[in-house]
Amino acid sequence: MLRIIFTKNPIIRDVCVASLSLGRNPTEISVDFLVYQKADWILVFSREFDIDVILPTILDNWDPDRIYLPYLGRSVDLTHEIGDVVLPNVFMSYVDQVAQIDPDSEVVNMPKIGAKFLEIYNEQKDYYVEDFGLSVWGMVTDKTPHDERINTALMMTYEADIYVEDSLDAAYEVTSGDLVPALILCGIVEGKQWKNDQWTPEQMAVRNILTTIRLTEDDEE
């Protein structure tokens, strides 16, 4: 099975390269298009271009069985721990009005929030895999400022499993399209503390994302 991991995040790139032993000398396909490969694992890294722009070049060079799109974010609830992984099915975006919410006010004017959905999972379910939690059919809010002062307002507005600073528009477009099977995976790097002296939160989340990739492929065999 040929799988491609695409990311714009250098932390995700570095942890994947180390965990999968992809080597430190990437191939430069074009400007801002770096490729790390070992056997049937390929990692594509771009600083500027998102997956919707990069995808045609990927498909010109390879015929992948699946493309994986990993992201890192934070949880503001009391359930998810650092290192947990969310496979989102519901996608929402942050709006500026959220920052104006006063949780202590008797009357709270909640902003209108739209949602997009993916029809790729059969059921909503939470698992405990090895030493991390896996939420299938989760909820994600993108374009979220990294500001702890709005945590309560975020919960009141979205009740999402994970909040990411990145835009997921391109990832959603590719995943909901029919050019190639794709999967969005979100790892939690801020949330309930889970003591681990061996790995940083980012390393834990990315390693657990890679474990989730392997599990999804095992389930399909």
The CATH number assigned to the domain holding 55 equals 3.40.50.1580
Over residues 98-107, the mean pLDDT reads 89
Per residue in 164-216, pLDDT tens? 999 999 999 999 999 999 999 999 999 987 667 789 999 999 999 999 999 99
pTM over 0.85: yes
Look at residue 81 and tell me whether its pLDDT is greater than 80: yes
Distances (CA, A) of 73 to 9, 85, 98, 163, 187: 12, 10, 18, 5, 6
- Rounded to an integer, what distance in angstroms lies between the CA atom of residue 132 and that of residue 130? 6
Question: Is residue 219 exposed (0-12), middle (13-18) or buried (19+ Cβ within 10 Å)?
Answer: exposed
Q: Where are the extended beta strands (E) located within 12-165?
A: 27-30, 33-38, 41-45, 66-74, 85-93, 116-117, 125-129, 132-142, 162-163
Over residues 126-139, the mean pLDDT reads 89
Look at residue 114 and tell me whether its pLDDT is greater than 80: yes
Note the pLDDT of residue 221.
58
- Rounded to an integer, what distance in angstroms lies between the CA atom of residue 190 and that of residue 80? 9
| Domain encompassing residue 97 | 3-220
Split into its structural domains, the chain has a count of 1
